[in-house]
Structure 1
Amino acid sequence: MELSNLTVSQLRDLQQQIPAELKRREAQEKNEILNEVRAFAKARGYAIEELLGKEGKVKAVASSGNKVKVKYRHPENAELEWTGRGRKPKWVEAWLANGGNLDNLLVA
Structure 2
Amino acid sequence: MSRAERAWYLAGPVSGIEERWALSRARDALTSRGHTVLAPALSHQETDSVDDLTASLGADLDALAAATLLVTLPGSAGLWETSTAVALGVPSRTLAEVLGERVSA
Do Structure 1 and Structure 2 share a fold, with TM-score over 0.5?
A: no
Higher Cα radius of gyration: 1
Q: Greater strand share, 1 or 2?
A: 2
- The interval holding the TM-score normalised by the smaller chain is under 0.3
In the superposition, the TM-score normalised over structure 2's length comes to 0.26
